[in-house]
Amino acid sequence: MTQAAQIQEQANLPAHGQEPGDWKRYFSFSSDHKVIGIQYLVTTFFFYLVGGVLATMVRTELATPESDFVSREVYNSLFTVHATVMIFLWIVPAGTGGFGNYLVPLMIGARDMAFPKLNALAFWIIPPAGIMLLSSFFVGAPGAGWTNYPPLSLISGKAGEMIWILSVLLLGTSSILAAINFLVTIWKMRVPGMGWNQMPLFCWAMFATSILALIATPVLAGALILLSFDVLIGTAFFNPTGGGDPIVYQHLFWFYSHPAVYIMILPVFGMISDIISVHARKPIFGYKAIAYSSLAICGLGLIVWVHHMFTSGTPPWMRMFFMITTMIIAVPTGIKIFSWLATLWGGKLDGSSALLFAMGFISLFVIGGISGVMVASVPFDIHVHDTYFVVAHLHYVLFGGSVFGLYAGFYHWFPKITGRMMDETWGKVHFWLSFVGFNLAFMPMHKLGLEGMNRRIAEYDPKFATLNLICTIGAFLLAISTIPFIVNAAWSWLRGEPAGDNPWRGLTLEWMTTSPPPVENFDADPILATGPYDYGMGSRSTEVDVPFSDADDPALSAGPSSTLRAKPDPVVAADPSDRGTESHNR
Amino acid sequence: MTTIDPAKTSLNYHHEQAAETHHHEHPDLRIPGVIVFLAAESMIFLGLFMAYIAFRAVTPDWPPEGTPKLELLLPGINTAILISSSFVIHNADTAIKKNDVKGLRLWFGVTALMGAVFLVGQLYEYFHLEFGLKTNIFASTFYVLTGFHGLHVCFGLILILAVLWRSRKPNHYNSEKHFGVEAAEIYWHFVDVIWIILFLLLYIL
């Protein structure tokens, strides 16, 4: 064990707090952030499976050029509900609500979230909203695509549209409530001594995500309120025949839905930063660069939305502006990618499933990112707009990016959440099946798109048949790949090898308590004896007495004595060579 | 590899200390929570304002031909009432900080009255306008924007009445503990600021 880990672990003996209750708490209005986190993860994973079944049905329909598996109307509903479920009921709530709730308070050394009851409320909005959305299949599910552009959404079935609007409004509300909670928690509840720059990168990512959710989601609510007036009462906000303007809906919609892309990917960026550093046994490369690039993505992410509307009659100056801002986003994203690569470089990679998924995430996300820069350029986008090229791009970032990252998170934090290890062999089977299936399903779509195959249509030109069949086979493989994961997770939760408190020898505070952590997480405020990523820095040769804390002023406890400080306090520095007589800290 | 003997460090001290401080009070973060919540609220309004501005920008004549002119007198008085109520409610905050519950009840009562007058004035205007929700795009945005704001005034009024109701209990609010008072006041100021923007957008510009 590295010395850093030893220092950190000895500074924080595992808590022996109250044992959590029995399984019934997972079905209650519990305000424990860990229970809520698990509620989120399990619920959203269930919806992921539902969305996956819908996707498999879409691909089954597309296996042949004719519309033979389901009717065209049902096909429209399938891809509409598939996208809505995957975005609003799986990736957004799993990344923010699931991992965010479970990890943020632990990582910052807090006992719970700032508003535990609000937190429970935010979760309990989700199951009814999800069930409502799925029940729309009984009354004619929405079929205007997940974007629900008017006037198309005004002329399809009213019941389905209203169900869609209501469930998205509910899910948006849940997302806003969660964002309020995260912002206040991260802002106010860090353990004394943890400055902004001592936070684990996942917390930085959650902070940026929550700002985005807080700013962008209400605008979608505004758009949906206006849309529901149009659908229900017959006003003409977005109906050109009554003097309205559908383009305004597109602006309001994408003002939320483009940042939503970052709401879906930023938490995963944070998780990947943590996972790679732990499993490569190296300090993260460019801590501040990764942290602040999250904020840069958050800021830039709010001013790029019109790139979804290059073919909506957008004036040239506006296209130019949004093309440039969109391309600039590649810079902070690239900073992260290269920092992760530099962290991996020369690291002592442990080859675990978590690391495999993290590396799979990087490779697939880079492909999706590059095709993202391609579609950001106006002339190229005009060519591929609404084709399978866009479908390929978005699945590389949302599936290859977000979902692979979420899987990495599952493998990494499963021991902490359940107290048991997952089976590595089945984890690797899961990874390779997913990786191969994913590329088989989505790589050919780039070519289909460039050749002009339109998205959202049940039938296609027979010349696309071969590639589509390959995509469908890949999709089936992808569907099968979840089986080893589900079996592995269920089996390991019940019978897995006990994990111990810190199986990965991590340094962040969630590993400094028992697995699973007790109610209220820690016996006392945990102590930061090292930075969050000080792996492999235990080469100091002499034993020294390290006064870890200042008994009179707990606020300084992690401060001057931290071995990770660039300029340790000369009076209490861990390394004798850093010591002096005069303190410059007080 | 070297080891650190915990006994030689001051670590143990921390664990002893830990046991004593275990169940300390959860910090009260409700006011920051309210402020962050209002940031989200203002984004809904910003979205609706931007929609209004966009509709206005793409419509050749604004308001579209045939829309009766808006009367300014009643909304003007209403605006004055709402803005001054923001000053009135602040007196309540000053009062409770001096432990003066009577003053709190007085000023909250006056604010509630002013809020109610505003809402009645708003309804009176609705019933006397010569256009309906579906007349044209201007009329639709007018009703949705003012109606959505009116709902917020209603909610603010409910908050104020709830504080009044709770303040019957002696010492429910005092100079140390008055989150409800503060939250209602912040919310009321927020509703007021939104109205000023709304009034400028719909009536003046």
Residue A412's nearest CA partner among A574, A575, A275, A251 is A275
CA neighbor of A305 nearest in space, from A268, A258, A372, A355: A258
Distance CA A161, CA A31 (A): 33
CA angle A201, A202, A207 (to 5 degrees): 95
Residue A502 to residue A419: CA distance in whole angstroms: 10
d(CA A475, CA B73): 65
Given this model, what pLDDT does residue A155 score?
A: 87
- Map out the domains of chain A with their CATH numbers: 17-495 (1.20.210.10)
Provide, as residue numbers in chain A, all residues whose Cβ is less than 8 Å from the Cβ of B136.
236, 242-243
Instruction: Tell me the one-letter amino acid at A473.
Output: I
Q: Hey, which residues does A387 pair with through a beta bridge?
A: A454
Q: Are A569 and A561 in contact (CB under 8 A)?
A: yes
Give the tokens for residue A560.
């001057």
Nearest of A168, A60, A99, A130 to residue A403 by alpha carbon? A99
Partner B contacted by A548 (CB < 8 A): yes
Sign of the Cα pseudo-torsion (A76, A79, A85, A91, in order): negative
Minimal C-alpha gap between A189 and chain B (Å): 8
Which residue type does A196 have?
Answer: W
Residue A152 φ then ψ, to 5°: -55, -45
Q: How far is B102 from chain A (nearest CA, A)?
A: 31
Nearest neighbour of B33 by CB, restricted to A114, A221, A548: A114
What are the start-end ranges of the H helices in A283-397? 287-301, 316-328, 330-344, 353-376, 378-384, 388-395
> In this predicted model, what pLDDT tens digit does every residue of B72-84 receive, in sequence order?
899 999 999 999 9
By CA distance, what is B135's nearest residue in A? A235
- What is the rounded CA–CA span in Å between residue A213 and residue A228? 22
- Write down the residue that tokens 């900080």 correspond to: B97
- Reported for B120-125, long-range contacts at CB under 8 A and 24+ positions apart, including other chains, are B121/B74, B121/B75, B121/B77, B121/B78, B121/B81, B122/B78, B122/B146, B122/B150, B122/B153, B124/B74, B125/B71, B125/B74, B125/B75, B125/B78
Cβ contact A6–B21 (<8 Å): no
B2 CB neighbours in chain A (<8 A) are 3, 540-543
pLDDT, averaged per 10 consecutive residues of chain A (586 residues), comes to 64 66 82 95 97 97 93 94 97 96 95 94 96 92 92 89 96 96 94 90 97 96 95 91 92 96 96 96 92 96 95 93 96 96 92 96 96 95 95 96 97 95 96 97 96 94 96 97 96 93 91 89 84 71 44 47 49 56 46
Stretches where chain B sits below pLDDT 50 are 1-23
Nearest of A566, A548, A568, A567 to residue A558 by alpha carbon: A548
Contacts with B92 (C-beta within 8 Å, 6 or more apart), sequence order: B103, B104, B106, B107, B108, B111, B181, B185
Say whether B134 and A235 touch across the interface (CB within 8 A). yes
Q: Which residues does residue A498 pair with via DSSP β-bridges, in sequence order?
A: A420
Looking up tokens 């675990």 gives A352
Looking at chain B, which residue has its C-alpha nearest residue A190? Answer: B27
Helix (H) or strand (E) holding B125: helix B101-128
Cis? peptide before A516, omega within 30° of 0: yes
| ipTM summary value | 0.87
Q: Would an 8 Å CB–CB cutoff place A217 in contact with chain B?
A: yes
Task: Please give the Cα distance from B180 to A459 (Å, whole number).
Answer: 59
| Angstrom distance (rounded) from CA A362 to CA A272 | 9
What is the Cα A374 distance to its own chain's centre? 23
> Would you state the pLDDT for residue A574?
52
Please state, in angstroms and rounded to a whole number, the distance separating the CA atoms of residues A153 and A250.
12
Of B158, B171, B156, give the one whose Cα is nearest residue B104.
Answer: B171
- Cα gap A10→A73, rounded to integer Å: 62
Contacts of range B162-165, beta carbons closer than 8 Å, 24 or more positions apart: B163/B104, B163/B108, B164/B105, B164/B108, B164/B109, B164/B112
How far apart are the CA of B105 and the nearest CA of chain A, in angstroms? 28
pTM: 0.88
Upstream peptide bond of A151 is cis (omega within 30 degrees of 0) = yes
Count residue pairs from A and B with Cβ separation < 8 A: 161
Cβ proximity of A527 and A549 under 8 Å: yes
Q: Which domains does chain B have, with CATH numbers?
A: 30-204 (1.20.120.80)
The per-residue pLDDT for A19 is 66
The verdict on a CB contact (< 8 Å) between B140 and A221 is no
Question: Do A242 and B136 make contact, defined as CB atoms within 8 angstroms?
Answer: yes
Listed residue (A340, A337, A303) closest to A215, CA to CA: A303
Nearest residue, CB atoms, A218 vs list B1, B43, B136: B43
Please tell me whether the peptide bond between B63 and the residue prior to it is cis, using omega within 30 degrees of 0: yes
Q: Does A217 sit within 8 Å of B137, measured CB to CB?
A: no
How far apart, in whole angstroms, are the C-alpha atoms of residue A414 and residue B154? Answer: 47
Tell me which residue of B194, B201, B204 sits closest to B72, measured CA to CA.
B204
Amino acid at A463: K
Question: Tokens at residue A63, please?
Answer: 């296996």
pLDDT of A567 reads: 52
Flag whether residue B24 sits within 8 Å of chain A, measured between CB atoms. no
